[in-house]
Structures are given as C-alpha cells and as structure tokens.
Structure 1
Amino acid sequence: MISKQNAEHYVWGENCDGWRLVDREECSIIHEKMPPDSREVRHFHEKAEQFFFVLSGCLHIELDGTEHELHLHEGIEIPPNIPHQAMNRSAGPVEFVVISRPNTRGDRVLV
C-alpha cells in the first residue's frame, strides 16, 4: 500500500511538494501540492502524455496558449509535445495527481 505518508517525497519549483506513488518506466503517478502563488516552469514532454486531476483547491493550467481552471475532482489530459504550465493563482494550496505515460524522467523540454 502507498500513500503520502510512506511515498518518496521531493521538493520542486517554488517550494512545491511531490510524492511518487508509482515510479515505473512505463508510468508514473505523482501526488503534488503547490502553495499559493506558485507555478512550474513552462515545458513539454516529447514522449509522455499526462493527466492532471485536482484533489483539493483550484489549479490553473496553461495548455498551448489557452488557460484552463480546474476545480475539485476535475482533470485535463495533456498530449506529448504540447507546451504547458501548472499554476496556483489562489490564496490556498492546491493538491492534485499527475499520471504520466511513459514516465517523464528525462523527457522534459523547457520552452
């Protein structure tokens, strides 16, 4: 059994947290938490497709020039080679799950 309490934890970006729930070559599932007013670096993945699913809070995702606002239990799919950026524009933290197929390790290109 895996959870935030026993998963590998790491810190990324502007003091954001990640917990690796599944970390295989063909798939990764990461639970992430972004504090208020934080964002990741705009990028794309050459091979991986991703699905972001909000667990709490509100997540903004810019996807190829269009911004989407995701709320509790809403998700969005991001195909390979599409520039994107996750942002928390709210006053509270946002938590979400990112499912990537295949794993995104070594597959990130900054825009």
Structure 2
Amino acid sequence: MISKDNAEHYVWGDNCDGWYLVNRKDMLVIHEKMPPGTCEKRHYHSVSRQFFFVLQGELSMELEGEMHKIKTQQGIEIPPGSAHQASNNTQSPVEFIVISQPTTRGDRTDLPAS
C-alpha cells in the first residue's frame, strides 16, 4: 500500500510538495500540493501524456494559451507537445494527482512565461 504518508517526498518549485506514488519508466503517479500563490514553470513534454486530478482546492491550468479552473473531483488531460503551466491562484492549498505515461523524466522542455 502507498500513500503520501509513506511515499518518497520531494520539494519542487516555490515550496510545493510531491510524493511519488508510482515511479516507473512506463508510468509516473505523483500526489502534489501547491500552497496559495504558487506556480510551476511553463513547459511541455514531447512524449509523455499527463492527467491532473484535483483532490482538494482549485488548480488553474494554462493549456496552450487557454486558462482552465479545475475544481475538486475534476481533471484535465495534457496531450504530448502541449505547452502548459499549473498554478494555485487561490488563498488555500490545492492537492492533486498527476499521472504521466510514460514518465516525464528527461521529457520536459521549459518555456518562457506566456
């Protein structure tokens, strides 16, 4: 059994948290938490397809220039090659699951902010 209580933890971006729930070359599943007012760098993955599913709070996702607000129990798919940037524009933390297939390791190209 795996949960954020016993998974490998790491800190990314502006004091955001991640927990590896599945960490294989063919699939990556991460539980992430973003404090209020944080964001990741805008980027894309050449091969990896991702799915973000919000567990708590509201995640803002810029996807190819269009802003999406993903609320609790909602998700969004990010196709390979699609520029995107996750952010928390609320006053509360947001927690979500990111599923990447295959892994995003070595498959990320950072972009300038839009």
TM-score range, shorter chain: over 0.9
Name the counterpart of 1:82. Answer: 82
2:33 corresponds to 1:33: yes
The separation in 1 between residues aligned to 2:26 and 2:109, in whole angstroms, is 19
2:60 corresponds to 1:60: yes
Q: Deviations over 1:25-60 (max 9, x none)?
A: 000000000000000000000100000000000000
The separation in 1 between residues aligned to 2:46 and 2:86, in whole angstroms, is 17
* Count of aligned pairs between the two proteins: 111
**RMSD between aligned residues:** 0.3
Instruction: Extract unaligned runs of 5+ from structure 1.
Output: none
Segments of 4+ in structure 1 off by > 3 A?
Answer: none
Deviation, 1:71, is 0.4
**Which amino acid in 2 is paired with 1:8?**
E
Would you tell me which structure has more strand in proportion to its own residues? 1
The separation in 1 between residues aligned to 2:100 and 2:93, in whole angstroms, is 22
Q: Within 5 Å, give how 1:1-111 maps onto structure 2.
A: 1-111=1-111
TM-score between both structures, scaled by the size of structure 1: 0.99
**Which amino acid in 2 is paired with 1:102?**
P
TM-score between both structures, scaled by the size of structure 2: 0.97
Deviation, 1:5, is 0.8
The separation in 1 between residues aligned to 2:54 and 2:82, in whole angstroms, is 20
**Which amino acid in 1 is paired with 2:83?**
P
Deviation, 1:72, is 0.5
